[in-house]
Structure 1
Amino acid sequence: MPGARESLLDAASGALTRRPWSAVRMVEVAASAGVSRQTLYNEFGSKDGIARALVRREADAYLAGVDRALSGAGDTRERLTATAQWTLTAARGSALVRALLTGCWDARLPCVTLRPVPSSALMPAQRRADGPLPSPGDLVALVRDRAVAALSGPGASRAEAVDLARAAELTARLALSCVAAPPEGGVTELLRTALPRNLTR
């Protein structure tokens, strides 16, 4: 059974699918989660705090999917392609992930800044929710670095690591472009021609 924090985030996410964030009321979120409004404020500090925590949870879920794709079966090119396909799937399934990946936040979504709030300006209850949120460029770097860590073979040379980092960044950036403007043939076809053949291991 999820704790109060996860129940509140689930309730807030559900409310966001039904109405714009500006119309979501904290008393309704608390009631839907089966906790008091005071519990919500103790956990997140404010409506902005729960919004930031909700966005962070979506970012973490997206990156967990990246890790799963990178640890799957297949050679390096296939695992990078799986990562790109996951990016498109995650963006289609979540407006928050799509906004995180593209930087395009529509009026229905919470208005959150992607810069960290200085901790001196926070109440203790908010510190857990108000950590830094990744920008689209941050997410590209995180995907690239995860790919290099997951796909670098033992004894890989510096040149091989640099080539892998370039291929991983290319994969992430092509996937992001496909989120914004899906290609007719899909991301797999793009990557098949764009990724270097010597990545196959």
Structure 2
Amino acid sequence: MNHTDEDLIKMNVFKDKRRRMLYLIKGKQEGYHLQESDLKILNLLDGRKMWSLMIFVMMLGIFKIQIIWSIAVPVVVYIAMTLYFKFVFLKDRNIVKISDADFERMERPEMIEASNSDNLLFTIIPLFAVLIIVLSNVEKNAAVAVTTMDTILYYVADVILLSISFFYGSRYFKTKHKLKALKVSENNPKEAEETKKESKKNKKK
């Protein structure tokens, strides 16, 4: 299956000029060398945050499972997938240095816009999960007495989900602002060069 550069960057993967698939290492101008056949399992593992959120929503909102289990199961799934990803999937893979020319290609507006799509999803889905928690809490209060522990867990889950939404929402709007600045600076080569340098510096932090 042929993947566009925009498809790949959504998975945090970049194809360099030598056609190598590189899983980008945050804060570094490097990436883990992948094969085309790795992309399917990578797509599953890289989406572990999304899977965990969806499991939480389904368990609490659809199957009406207790809040403690609705939190515990997604957390265990996320930890298990993260450990597998770091210590099995990425183990013994070659780390490749990304050239400056290739690194600058990731600063194209279409690449930035594609990579920003996950930020929007992680802004919206936690808010939906909070709504599910509120509705579930109201429903349970109407049916049976809710324990103090359940009430605490409801509040803790709400705070965590709202924090996640705020964090990714901030990233989303910050990236949109950056994208707008890049498009405006296209008419000013000097300003565009300065914007790219600043963006490259921020990406390495």
Give the TM-score taking structure 1 as reference length: 0.35
Structure with greater strand percent: 2
Rg larger in structure: 2
Give the TM-score taking structure 2 as reference length: 0.34
